[in-house]
Structure 1
Amino acid sequence: MLDEPLPLDDRGFAYGDGLFETVLVRDGQALLWRAHLERLERGAERLGFELPDPASLQALPARCGPGLTVLKLVVTRGSGGRGYRPPGVAEPRWRWSVAPFAPQPERWRHGVVVRLCQLRLSWQPRLAGIKHLARLENVLARQEWQDENIAEGILCDGDGNLVEATAMNLIWRRAGVLETPRLDRCGVAGTLLEALGERLPIHRVQASDLALREADAAWVLNSVQGVWPLRRLVSAEGTRLKDWSLERQDSLQSAAHSLLGYPGSEDLRDLVAK
């Protein structure tokens, strides 16, 4: 593990000038690995620096050990430059860590409660889709609630259009059509969402939270936790806005979990009972 401290003049530390990925690793095999590396490459291109020897990353998953772990990769532009002005030639830094991981199967099976956040995401198309280090908006949104019964917060942009959850992507089914928010102005293009889009017809739309309330099923998802069906949506003030039945939410979860090696919906009853 690279545990060397970052110097105070590192631009990732000082300005959030860098990228990160969190990768699910099962017995030394990284899930959706190519998608994570491709998103890192897109992010580095957007920020205007080159990744330091991407080939050196290939051996990392095998070093994570047995069982289920999460590999966190961080790359910064490095040090240099004056103030906000970046150096003419960047010398990026890698850091990585590994932690044991246990998913939450009760959320797979029984669904979750989510709330609408008061915070509105700002637009910045040049950063949209990538997983950059400047995540203060997400931190402030997650600070809005302390209720352990609420699993996630749903974020909209300044125009009231749905974008994502604080740490997950969002999909819903309305009038028989799978929909997910457009991420061309802000938000993170999750690797599990992208992989599902290659298997299922998921339409990217611009829609307010009214679309979510019109949906007959909805999910939040990411490449570590898998898919959590939504059971209830509440307002920022705690008012109940929508309840969903979980009976019609099985197929998308099964398709997603097959990509991560997690149980499909047909296996969850036995898993949770244990």
Structure 2
Amino acid sequence: MRLLLLGVPLVIALVGPWLVPDDLVRGAPFADSGLLGTDFVGRDVWHQVLLGGQALVLTAVLATGGAYLLGAVWGLAAATAPRMVDEALMRPLDVLMAVPSLLLLLVVATLAPDGALVWIVMLIHLPDIARLVRACALEIGTRPAVEAMRLQGENWWRIAAGFVAPSMARVLATDAGTRLTGSLYLIAAVSFLGVGVPPDASDWALMVDRNRSGLFLNPWAVLAPALLIVMLAVGLNLIIDRILKRAHHDRS
């Protein structure tokens, strides 16, 4: 069930665009022609479903992965630096956290050029990830093994990347599932509101918004993309929970 929930939307998102014919035609809005009928401008809903997930999935994965790369380095540097450097690194992130994420996303996405959505979502996730990494690193840094490495003259990279980072892998993996789901919802929210995307773009979240006026005429135009977004988020978290439980049992 977990693999099905995650696999169906992933396959559709990544492989779907290759399955859509080049000669797309339009019919009447919200008609029952085709597999899932037509949308608000007469396009085949099934074709739009095949086209609409790739950008959402790739943007969420790239933004979350990039945020973790930057946030991990930032948090480790703050945790292992002198107090003044720690303060200088973390206080700007505290200011950034005070701004509501959706408000920041909408404002910046409206002003930023096309293609900047990945960087905006990275910016939103960065403070939380850096603070989480810093908190974990501070706790792990007091362990006897780390003190022994310092006494042996090990450099920062060997301590931070060789011992501290692997020790917090399970915590970060748990957070990554929630964070990736958050990225999906943030990107979907922006698309739903039509910020930074063309009004007739092939996008799952935008399909939900643009076709809601015809919900009772062709419900699949709204339900199909909405179900795929939910399946992707739920399936991802179930898979990560399963992996973490298996890892815990193996260590026990």
TM-score of the superposition, structure 1-length normalised?
0.18
| Structure 1 or 2: more helix by fraction | 2
Q: Using CA pairs below 8 Å that are at least 6 residues apart, which structure has the higher relative contact order?
A: 2
> Which of these two proteins has the greater Rg computed from alpha carbons?
2
What's the TM-score once normalised by structure 2's chain length? Answer: 0.19
